[in-house]
Amino acid sequence: MRAVVIAIGVWVASSLAVAAQVQGVELDTPEPIPEFSLSDQDGQTFTPDDLEGNWTVIMFGFNSCPDVCPFTLGNLEHAISETAMRVRPDNVPNVVFVSVDPDRDAEVVSDYALYFHPEFLGVTGARDQIDTLVEATDSFYRLMPPDSNGYYEVQHSSAVSVIDPEGNLRAKLQPPFDAGLTAEFLARLQIAYRREKS
Amino acid sequence: MMFRPIVCAAMLIPLPALAESVTVVDAWVPMAPPTAMAHVAYITLQNDGTEPRVLTGVNADGYAMSHLHESRETEGVATMTMLHQIEIPPGSILMMKTGGLHIMLMRPEAPIAEGDLITLSLTFANDETVTVDAPVKARDAES
């Protein structure tokens, strides 16, 4: 974990008691996301330009993850639907599933994300581009050695990253992404952001 | 002939799959994206016997491979580990669920649909095999 993220405070401050149950942390100093280029299965690119002007939630995973990743994406779908009831339509975060396993997922990564919500984006790309985004969001993944059948496990961060409309990493959220509490966290994060900008 | 209606009625009562003292009390497969290369099954086993029972493997119809797996989250990192056996102590219930023990079903021959039945053959250390049909359900219908 980089020092900047260690320095962040758990988002409980003076907020409601229920907020203490959200495992979300807000960065003291938002971190800009550097240049990277990923793409969906049809070749449509996903770059920092796509972060501008809207909130984005980025999750790392892989398609051959039948237990935790679908659970996380399903919970995120509920959380984003709940958020949509609390914020302006143009402030509903875009959810981006980034596969860290392009060799197996490049051709189906978008279909995988779309299954959970018709507007979820699924992308992957070259290893160095994935690594750039992983590092910029203080995330982690590791491809494990393959077994005799060529099958390999993938370890990855369970947290998701919240990017503000200027393309800065502003918060991290840990599962299980309770819908109501996550929506409350995101709505308050947006209020704090607007106050900062006004 | 007098017996026949009674026998038929008894056959309609769903009986749990039995392997001596081990009972499969629940089994299901959550729906998955049509392109997913791996699915998951969750089962609940009850050992009513006096001896430990050890689940050593699983075979699933319609899949290239099936493994016993365990998901864990350690210091913010999600990991999956293949297990070679899972012990069910006497008098205990083993419940597989999201984020923990599960059966990983790899390389499906075809996409799954709600209502499909996936036949799982569970192998135990005493070479006994228990077969159960796990229905495919919406993930929200987690039982």
The pLDDT-based confidence of A23 (bands split at 50, 70, 90) is confident
| Chain B residues with beta carbon closer than 8 angstroms to that of A76 | none
Residue contact A104–B37, C-beta within 8 A:
yes
| Chain A residues with beta carbon closer than 8 angstroms to that of B58 | none
Helix (H) or strand (E) holding B7: helix B4-12
Closest CB to A149 among B65, B76, B81 = B65
Helix A68-84 with A109-116: angle, nearest 10 deg: 50
Question: Distance from B9 to chain A by nearest Cα, in Å?
Answer: 39
Residue B74 contacts residue B43 (beta carbons within 8 Å): no
What does the pLDDT average to over B24-53?
94
pLDDT higher than threshold 70 for residue A6 = no
The pLDDT-based confidence of A20 (bands split at 50, 70, 90) is very low
C-alpha to C-alpha distance for A186 and B18, rounded to whole angstroms: 49
Quick check: helix, strand or coil at residue A183?
helix
Helix A179-197 with A68-84: angle, nearest 10 deg: 60
Residue contact B33–A157, C-beta within 8 A:
no
The pLDDT of residue B5 is 44
Q: pLDDT averaged over chain A?
A: 88
Count of CA atoms in the C-beta half-sphere (13 A) of A11: 25
Which has more pLDDT, B17 or A113?
A: A113
| Chain B residues with beta carbon closer than 8 angstroms to that of A116 | 33
DSSP letter assigned to residue A49: G
The angle formed by the CA atoms of residues B80, A97 and A131, to the nearest 5 degrees, is: 75
C-alpha to C-alpha distance for A193 and A54, rounded to whole angstroms: 12
Residue contact A67–B36, C-beta within 8 A:
no
**pLDDT, tens digit (0-9, with 9 covering 90-100), for A57-95:** 999 999 988 898 898 899 999 999 999 999 999 999 999
Residue B83 contacts residue B68 (beta carbons within 8 Å): yes
pLDDT higher than threshold 60 for residue A159 = yes
| Chain B residues with beta carbon closer than 8 angstroms to that of A158 | 73, 76-78
What does the pLDDT average to over A172-197?
93
Domains of chain B: 17-141 (2.60.40.1890)
The CATH number assigned to the domain with range A3-197 reads 3.40.30.10
Residue A171 contacts residue A67 (beta carbons within 8 Å): no
Closest CB to B76 among A104, A154, A174 = A174
Q: Which residue, B58, B56, B26, is CA-closest to B43?
A: B26
DSSP letter assigned to residue A79: H
pLDDT higher than threshold 60 for residue B38 = yes
Residue of B28, B43, B73, B98 to mutate for A, most A C-beta atoms under 10 A: B98
The pLDDT-based confidence of A24 (bands split at 50, 70, 90) is confident
